[in-house]
Structure 1
Amino acid sequence: MVVSAQHLASDAGLEVLRSGGNAVDAAVAVGYALAVVYPAAGNLGGGGFMTIRFADGRATFLDFREKAPIAATRTMFLDPDGHVIPGLSTDSWLAVGVPGTVAGLEAASQRYGRLGRHTVLAPAERLARDGFVLTDGDAVLFAAETPGLAKDPGARAIFTRDGQALKAGDRLVQPQLARSLERIDSDGAASFVQGPLAQAVAAASQLGHGLITLDDFAHYRVREMTPISCMYRAYQVISAPPPSSGGVTLCEILNILEGYDLKAMGFHSAAESHVLIEAMRRAYRDRNQELGDPDFVVNPLSHLLDKSYAAALRATILPDAATPSASLPFAPASTEGQQTTQFSVVDAAGNAVSVTYTLNGWFGAHRVAGDTGILMNNEMDDFTAKPGTANMFGLVQGTANAIAPGKTPLSSMSPTIVARDGHLAMVTGSPGGSRIITITAEVIINVVDHGMTLEAAVDAPRLHHQFLPDRVDLEPEALTPDVRNKLAGSGYTFRDVTPWGHAESILVGGETLSAAEGASSLGGGLVLFGVNDPRAPAGSAAGE
């Protein structure tokens, strides 16, 4: 089963599984294919995280996030008076971090894949060379971002029609990107070290007054790390460690909520919504000030993940009143974007892969590197340009996430795998910037506590609180009018927003977790239920 935000990428992963590949091979194929068919977030010029759980229960995590260039400085986005320069961290070559996607996909393939590079790259090369026809779901992204894409000559030539938005029914052919993929097929990760692709990115950066040089590529390393792991009810939750805040914050939210009977409270009742919001508030306070790149800061993981710490936080939640964020101890600490993409894979043996990768904003910095066809990220905005100042996603962070040469910015990406009693249960994750963590938490809560089918759990309307700003974001129909009024009377402020995130998910053994109990054994083969989030209309679940 392969689930992604673009149906052709899902098909590419399934093609590789049918060719004898394992879940890692398929994930790598999806990653490359999304760079072609989902250029708004799929990428070669960005970075991301991969969580892997093998059929025997072992788990590992690959960090291939972008890094700050060697020449980066803590004040690079501030004017002489110390004020943040609007747009500099999102819409310039200075916004571009050193990309890690190719290095990460190649590391995964070489360490844990079964097939050769050419086989896993073939679908992406074909899609770039021959092109593909845009659906309505594809076209809506181009329509929104065409003004930005039209400003860069390289992006304008590829992703617009003489400056006008591509439309459903148009065929997008990308010969430059096809050649870049062929170069990767030939040279592997070396193409992004001293090879022509690295040279082209470095040259374009210098021409655009950016900071990336060939030395940045030579010093880039993929990190393999131990995932964050915690127990929620009877389930093991395996997710992303720092430099992602995702796994820690997700587990902290779940640890706090474990002390409540959410099922008895009812989905998004006043009682459940109250404790959800307060758990999110407290976990995001810690996220924003405590976490950062482990090569640069000490992350107090054992403390933040301790069940007794969660119990202490739970004890501060008032039974019928909001806790103003300003009343909680807080040392202002940094920023982040919503436009990432998630894909999930499970193979017939029970190996599972969850990947979230990103350009940060839609189409990143809206800049193509030379004649490579590769869109570049604007990931430097994920750093704290100035402690206490909000980033493009409204996150207010601290000094632990300050810019430093070679540092990885803090992320909310949370590629997550859930197991029970040694058996794989679920694979999930989502884009959504700072909302990724709460999306992932709510999907887990919906299936574990409320017994929803995976489809219902993914489709269900969402709420979100991230400590600052002190408000609750609501998707349409997330709360009934009565519940909303009752919570408003308890001190909550709301903002209505359009639906967010794409929780591309797989459930093992049944349509619900209760139906899957005892059915996830590999003895009779896996029964897999894949769900493409309807918020990603171009996506699909592809399996057999």
Structure 2
Amino acid sequence: MNRFKIIAFISYCLTIGSHVIIAQTYARNGMVVSSSKIASEVGIEILKKGGNAIDASVATAFALAVTHPTAGNIGGGGFLVFMDSSGTTTTIDFREKAPMKASSDMFLDKDGNLPKGIDHRGRESTSNHIGLKSVGVPGTVAGLYLAHEKYGHLPWADLVQPAIDLAENGFELPWSLANSAIYFDANTKIQFLKDYFRKDNGKLISFGEVWKQPELANTLSEIRDKGHDGFYKGIVAKEIARYMKENGGIITKKDLRNYSAVERKPIKGTYKDYDIYSMPPPSSGGVALIEMMNLMELADLDSIAFNSTKYVHLLAEVMRRAFADRAEHLGDPDFNLNTPINKLTSKEFAKKRFENINLSKASPSDSTKFGQIYDGNSTTHFSLIDKDGNAVSLTYTLEHGYGSGMGSPELGFIFNNEMGDFNPIPNETTRTGLIGTKPNIIQPEKRMLSSMTPTIVAKDGKPYLVIGSPGGKTIINTVFQTVLNVLEYDMQIDRAIEAVKIHHQWLPDRISYEEHLLSPDTKRNLELMGHMLIPRSNLGALMGIVIDPKNKILIGASDSSRPEGAAIGY
């Protein structure tokens, strides 16, 4: 180990501050790491019954829709990366779509401005995140069904049933959801969300009490019995369309009937002796991750101390370039047929980008050119591997925490507000982060651009690292830094997850950083180099697994920022 890898470890130990290190979990036969211990246990039980990684992923995802309603969902969408034990990799795109009645100016007032209002959380937000017009056609059920249809093993009904049992029989309300219940009771004006955590007698469910969701159980039963059509046709689709029409939404039965998930070829890159696989557009995560890893491969990291001023500056400059390229070029590939993905992920392109990085001065971010749109902060991710070495990295979201906050009381689930991930004002890009570039302008049946970055790294052609994170605009960069920590600095997965993280998104031009993990000297020196610094309590919530091929051991860790999460193995 060279001296800077030793310094990286020492720096990690010195700067860990108030972070709580969650002990790694070790197993041989399977591992599930998610934001909900209950959902992780559901996935493990499927593996024990002979299910493969896809089977366990389907069951885990449906369980999260019950136990982690902040982001776990059947009313949103996301992405799945699957690598089998031989190294063959594919992806499932189940990102939401714009309804057929959507238009590029649908959220603007008569003067062409984007008005503000109060969202379901009682906070000021822009109109593209408020109300039922902000809801994209959900993709989660279609994505899970497609993955199972092509690569699953156990019967579909067996994979949905555990979630039904959780919804019918209930589970003890954890502290975070109890706090949400209290918060929404006081702050939201949306009746569905105000009643979401209430008992039949009208009282709020308290911490530790059993929370049952019979309406959600009924909806899941339709999905169990009728598969894809149980959500996109029949009584569930009819009720979604009715609710939309009566409450100002624009999703119709035809929108639901026409929705389909898509299998896509993964984005592939390399870093030294490792192969990196991640999501292609409409996720921007894979392209940006590979571009940043290519840039870091050009740096002389043996001469740059981990977590030093020079190191943080380099990370920020690499992030700045990848995010600017993201905004200029990326969107739904079915609407942007000439996206230069091969160029953006090439080693040659990285060399050109690296040439103009000044290691002693911050670059400017020019708001007259390009920019960035993001997923909301309340995405969720899980990583999973089975006894045969098949691996899944899955990230899905409702956009904001609890999505739009709206849903039919008859169905029991919350709709996303993902339409806010489109560029809302065509051709208008500002230094504050408003983006108007063409690839991500609203069009009917178009999938909105995403930051989700479910990723699998292979070593010698076999799965080695399974990783992903929620975190909205920070997802790409938290995954990037964690992958770099494992591949370059040989960090164990728990240390790689908990180590210092920063975030630069090109616009606004500033570095967000975990406030307890940068020294005063580093912060002062970065400011002298021209960086603006914004402290954050936490960046990301990573869920990861490393496979030790020599000892045939699976090593999992759940980010300490998700105390209800867990790495469960057997």
Report if TM-score (shorter chain) is over 0.5.
Answer: yes
**Counterpart residue number, 2:143:** 104
Aligned counterparts of 2:208 and 2:370: Cα–Cα separation in 1: 51
**Secondary structure, aligned partner of 1:449:** helix
Closer, same or farther: CA 459–138 of 1 in aligned 2, 3 Å: farther
**Counterpart residue number, 2:567:** 541
5+ residue gaps, structure 2: 1-30, 117-125
Higher mean C-alpha displacement, 253-262 vs 66-75 = 253-262
Aligned counterparts of 1:335 and 1:502: Cα–Cα separation in 2: 16
Instruction: Output one character per residue of 1:226-259: Cα deviation in whole Å (capped at 9) or x when no partner.
Output: 0000001211110000000000001111111111
Aligned counterparts of 1:146 and 1:314: Cα–Cα separation in 2: 51
Instruction: Output one character per residue of 1:291-336: Cα deviation in whole Å (capped at 9) or x when no partner.
Output: 000011131101101111101111100121111112x982468554
**Counterpart residue number, 2:78:** 48
Confirm or deny: 8 A CA contact 1:429 1:504 kept in the other structure. Answer: yes
CA shift, 1:159, in A, is 2.2
How do residues 158-307 of structure 1 correspond to structure 2 at under 5 angstroms? 158-160=196-198, 166-297=205-336, 298-307=338-347
Instruction: Output one character per residue of 1:265-315: Cα deviation in whole Å (capped at 9) or x when no partner.
Output: 222111111110000000000111210000111311011011111011111
**Counterpart residue number, 2:521:** 482
Aligned counterparts of 2:178 and 2:515: Cα–Cα separation in 1: 23
Aligned counterparts of 2:474 and 2:33: Cα–Cα separation in 1: 20
Which residue identity is paired with 2:554? L
Confirm or deny: 8 A CA contact 1:334 1:390 kept in the other structure. Answer: no
Aligned counterparts of 2:269 and 2:310: Cα–Cα separation in 1: 25
**Counterpart residue number, 1:527:** 553
Aligned counterparts of 2:183 and 2:407: Cα–Cα separation in 1: 18
Closer, same or farther: CA 446–388 of 1 in aligned 2, 3 Å: farther
**Counterpart residue number, 1:76:** 106
Higher mean C-alpha displacement, 379-388 vs 74-83 = 379-388
2:359 equivalent among 319, 323, 334 = 319
Aligned counterparts of 1:331 and 1:308: Cα–Cα separation in 2: 22
**Counterpart residue number, 2:12:** none
Whose relative contact order is higher, 1 or 2, with alpha carbons under 8 Å and at least 6 apart? 2
Aligned counterparts of 1:268 and 1:333: Cα–Cα separation in 2: 26
The answer to whether residue 384 in structure 2 is matched with residue 345 in structure 1 is yes
Confirm or deny: 8 A CA contact 1:241 1:247 kept in the other structure. Answer: yes
Aligned counterparts of 2:503 and 2:211: Cα–Cα separation in 1: 36
Confirm or deny: 8 A CA contact 2:494 2:557 kept in the other structure. Answer: yes
Higher mean C-alpha displacement, 113-122 vs 236-245 = 113-122
The answer to whether residue 99 in structure 2 is matched with residue 60 in structure 1 is no
Confirm or deny: 8 A CA contact 1:35 1:44 kept in the other structure. Answer: yes
Aligned counterparts of 1:103 and 1:251: Cα–Cα separation in 2: 28
Confirm or deny: 8 A CA contact 1:334 1:389 kept in the other structure. Answer: no
Aligned counterparts of 1:47 and 1:409: Cα–Cα separation in 2: 11
1:130 equivalent among 140, 153, 169 = 169
CA shift, 1:448, in A, is 1.4
**Secondary structure, aligned partner of 2:110:** coil
Confirm or deny: 8 A CA contact 1:290 1:400 kept in the other structure. Answer: yes
Which residue identity is paired with 1:519? K
**Secondary structure, aligned partner of 2:555:** strand
**Counterpart residue number, 1:35:** 65
**Secondary structure, aligned partner of 2:237:** helix
Confirm or deny: 8 A CA contact 1:341 1:357 kept in the other structure. Answer: yes
Aligned counterparts of 1:539 and 1:164: Cα–Cα separation in 2: 27
**Secondary structure, aligned partner of 1:344:** strand
CA shift, 1:481, in A, is 1.1
Instruction: Output one character per residue of 1:349-385: Cα deviation in whole Å (capped at 9) or x when no partner.
Output: 0000000001100000001124000110001000011
1:377 equivalent among 395, 398, 416 = 416
Closer, same or farther: CA 500–155 of 1 in aligned 2, 3 Å: same
Instruction: Output one character per residue of 1:147-190: Cα deviation in whole Å (capped at 9) or x when no partner.
Output: 56x53333333324688865421321100001111111111110
**Counterpart residue number, 1:453:** 492
CA shift, 1:476, in A, is 2.1
Closer, same or farther: CA 439–140 of 1 in aligned 2, 3 Å: farther
Which residue identity is paired with 1:156? K
Confirm or deny: 8 A CA contact 1:132 1:171 kept in the other structure. Answer: yes
Closer, same or farther: CA 413–390 of 1 in aligned 2, 3 Å: farther
Closer, same or farther: CA 295–39 of 1 in aligned 2, 3 Å: same
Confirm or deny: 8 A CA contact 1:335 1:394 kept in the other structure. Answer: no
Instruction: Output one character per residue of 1:184-230: Cα deviation in whole Å (capped at 9) or x when no partner.
Output: 11111101222111111111111111110000011111110000000
Aligned counterparts of 2:288 and 2:191: Cα–Cα separation in 1: 40
Which residue identity is paired with 1:27? S
Closer, same or farther: CA 436–372 of 1 in aligned 2, 3 Å: same
Confirm or deny: 8 A CA contact 2:136 2:419 kept in the other structure. Answer: yes
Aligned counterparts of 2:487 and 2:437: Cα–Cα separation in 1: 34
Which residue identity is paired with 2:85? A
Aligned counterparts of 1:498 and 1:207: Cα–Cα separation in 2: 41
Which residue identity is paired with 1:368? G
**Counterpart residue number, 2:193:** 155
Aligned counterparts of 2:194 and 2:368: Cα–Cα separation in 1: 48
Confirm or deny: 8 A CA contact 2:511 2:534 kept in the other structure. Answer: yes
Confirm or deny: 8 A CA contact 1:332 1:387 kept in the other structure. Answer: no
Closer, same or farther: CA 274–397 of 1 in aligned 2, 3 Å: farther
2:40 equivalent among 3, 10, 17 = 10
**Secondary structure, aligned partner of 2:196:** helix
**Counterpart residue number, 1:512:** none
**Secondary structure, aligned partner of 1:345:** strand
Which residue identity is paired with 2:193? A
Confirm or deny: 8 A CA contact 2:231 2:237 kept in the other structure. Answer: yes
The answer to whether residue 53 in structure 2 is matched with residue 23 in structure 1 is yes
Aligned counterparts of 1:263 and 1:329: Cα–Cα separation in 2: 36
Aligned counterparts of 1:112 and 1:70: Cα–Cα separation in 2: 31
Confirm or deny: 8 A CA contact 2:424 2:436 kept in the other structure. Answer: no
The answer to whether residue 476 in structure 2 is matched with residue 442 in structure 1 is no
Which residue identity is paired with 2:394? V
Aligned counterparts of 1:288 and 1:470: Cα–Cα separation in 2: 14
**Counterpart residue number, 2:6:** none
Confirm or deny: 8 A CA contact 1:332 1:388 kept in the other structure. Answer: no
Which residue identity is paired with 1:478? L
Higher mean C-alpha displacement, 87-96 vs 429-438 = 87-96
CA shift, 1:388, in A, is 6.3
Which residue identity is paired with 2:191? P
Q: TM-score, structure 2 length as denominator?
A: 0.89
CA shift, 1:488, in A, is 1.0
Aligned counterparts of 2:532 and 2:219: Cα–Cα separation in 1: 49
CA shift, 1:461, in A, is 2.5
**Counterpart residue number, 1:309:** 349
Confirm or deny: 8 A CA contact 1:368 1:376 kept in the other structure. Answer: yes
